[in-house]
Structure formats: structure tokens, C-alpha cells
Amino acid sequence: MNQQFLLAARPEGMVRESDFNRVSTPLPTIGEGECLIDVHYMGLEPAMRGWMENRADYIAPLAIGDVMRGFGAGSVSVSNNPSYPVGTRVTGSFGWQQHYLHRADAAPLQRIPDGISLRAAIGVFGVTGMTAWFGLERIGKPRKGDVFVVSSAAGATGSVAGQLAKIHGCRVVGITSSAEKCQWLTATLGFDAAVNYREPNWQQQLSEVCPDGIDIYFDNAGGELLNTALGLIRDAARVVLCGGISRYNATGPLDGPTNYFNLIFRRARMEGFIVLDYADQFAAAIDAMQPLVAAGQLRHADTVSQGFDALPGALVALFQGANQGKQLVCISAPDDPD
């Protein structure tokens, strides 16, 4: 049988476990040219909230009763497709299920290169890592000496973006949600400073660690974090709009950044992007990042929840800021643990 989580309800306010419906369906039969993937890890990300709501129109709509969408890593367990022999390690939009049927007419699977673990394949080398890379390279355009500030800095995207900015020679400051995460950012990842926005004077702390202002602000948060950063930008600053986790589960009217007007005084730019637009360049980015990871210049962390049933709760935990690095769920242990 194939365990699946279906979307049971459009979320209102905070995502709830009851927004998903766990069902058990027969394993599909494998037709000509098809293969079956055992999903070992599922990656969780804030954007899922928008998919559940169909607010994110850059991706196909998700109907009530559909298998919840999600990017995962797995291996081919049964194959009628000579391109993907049993054991081939792959990533893809497998959804929240134990087994994914890859149809003959589907887009090609993404093979995981040798030397990259299943977990890294959907973390630092997956959609979140790509988001950090392309958001920084294409929108942030870092220059040596720039002051780079990132929100959700201990998350999968923020932690990678900050380290990449550091490699570019920026002074790097993270905004995160606990003293422990601040410590991890500075002591382990090499950030120059970190600020815990749950402390009452965090805005003052931020302006103190950016005494000359901000050249690049990489926003994963929205809300008061974005607004505060806009108040601190320097001339010709770039505000990279990547996400807005503070908005996703909000109830009632949303705030807009009143300090947007500072973009005029500072001749600055705020720009959004969708990482999937760069999909044809992911392989080149991974090639560039692999030596950085191998050399220990680019570290990545996972928070792994165990077992298929952990999926809904792990998504709720993500929005509560419980994760450090990539939030993953281990659905089934791979034969070759990594």
C-alpha cells in the first residue's frame, strides 16, 4: 500500500495538521516505460503555505483531495524504464507519499550526482539552496565589502545565502528567532553578527551592527523585519524579495512596508524572483557550489523529523521556527544511509 497525505482544507491562519488527510491507497502497477520511486526524504519549505492556498500562481494549482505537493529525494525501486535502473537516486516533485509513480511521458527525473547525499540534494543543492544562490547572484549582486543582511537566517535558504555572501566578501548579518540560532550563525557558519528579533530591542541591535546601513537585504520574512531593514538601506541598496514567512499564516489585514519610500531617498531597488525560473541553470549552480561544500566553506544543516506520519507536524514546526537549516522528514531510510 502507498501512504499519502492529501490536502483536506485550505488553511486559514496557521497551518494545522487537520489540513491534511492521511489515506492508504494500493501501490500503482508499473506500466511500460514507467518506474516507481521510494521516497526517502521530503523537504518542507514555507512556500508550501502558498501552494495549499493556491495563492502561488507560478506553479500548477493544488485541489482539495490532491496529494500534497512537495520536493523529495528517493531511489528507483521498480523500473520498466531503462533510463532509470533500480537504485537510481533522484529528486523531484514527488508529493507527500511513500511511493511516486514516474510515468513514461513525464518530464525527466533529476539524478542526484555522485558525492551528494539524498538530504543535501533537497537542501543545499535543492530548491532552497538554489533559491539562495540565484537570489543572491541575480538579484542581490554582491560586491566585496557590501553589508548583507538576511532574515530567517538560520533557515535552509537564509543560512546558505549568508555564507555565499560571506564568500563574496560581504559583511554578513543574520536575523533569526533565538539566541541559540544566533550562536550557530556566528560561531559555526561564520556570520559577522546575528540579531534575535524576539528580543525587544532587536531593531536597535540591528542598526548597531550595521552602523553604515545595509547594501543587500535578503528577505524571507516580510512584516516588521522587512520594514526595519528598508529603514536602514544605503544608497543603491538591493532588497531581494525571496519570501515572507511572517505573512503566510497571518490572519486579518496584512501590513505593507511603510518604509518603502526610503527606496526613493536611497535610490534603491526591491525585487522579487521565483527560483523555478532558473531551473535550466541549476546544474551549473550545483557545480559551482559543490567545491565550496567539499571545502567546508559552505556548511548546511538539517532538522530531520522521523517517519511519514511526521509530515504535517513538521510543517507546523517550520512555521514556528523550530528548524535549524533545512526541515526534512525521513519517510523511509535509504539502503545507503547518508
Which residues are at the interface with a second copy (CB under 8 A)? 56-58, 222, 227, 241-244, 247, 253-274, 277
Q: How far apart are CA 91 and CA 112, in angstroms?
A: 7
Select 259 or 297, whichever has its Cβ closest to a second copy. Answer: 259
Select 55 or 111, whichever has its Cβ closest to a second copy. Answer: 55
Q: Which of 127, 91, 96, 114 is nearest to 338 (CA)?
A: 114
Select 67 or 226, whichever has its Cβ closest to a second copy. Answer: 226
Q: How far is the CB of 313 from a second copy (least distance, A)?
A: 27
- What the block records as the C-alpha cell of 89 is 537516486
Q: How far is the CB of 246 from a second copy (least distance, A)?
A: 11
Q: How far apart are CA 158 and CA 155, in angstroms?
A: 5
User: Would you say 152 and 243 are in contact if contact means Cβ atoms under 8 Å apart?
Assistant: yes
β-bridge mates for residue 327, sequence order = 44, 303
Q: How far is the CB of 178 from a second copy (least distance, A)?
A: 26
Select 265 or 280, whichever has its Cβ closest to a second copy. Answer: 265
Q: State the Cα angle at 123 between 120 and 127, rounded to 5°.
A: 130
β-bridge mates for residue 25, sequence order = 2
Q: How far apart are CA 39 and CA 55, in angstroms?
A: 27
Select 185 or 270, whichever has its Cβ closest to a second copy. Answer: 270
Q: How far apart are CA 200 and CA 135, in angstroms?
A: 30
Select 36 or 233, whichever has its Cβ closest to a second copy. Answer: 233
Q: How far is the CB of 275 from a second copy (least distance, A)?
A: 10
Q: How far is the CB of 136 from a second copy (least distance, A)?
A: 15
Q: How far is the CB of 320 from a second copy (least distance, A)?
A: 21
Select 182 or 233, whichever has its Cβ closest to a second copy. Answer: 233
How many other C-beta atoms lie within 10 A of the C-beta of residue 96?
26
Helix 127-134 and helix 282-294: axis angle, to 10°? 100
Q: How far is the CB of 262 from a second copy (least distance, A)?
A: 8
Q: What is the DSSP letter of 186?
A: I
Q: What are phi and psi of 233, to 5 degrees?
A: -70, 155
Q: How many CA atoms lie within 13 A of 305 on its CB side?
A: 20
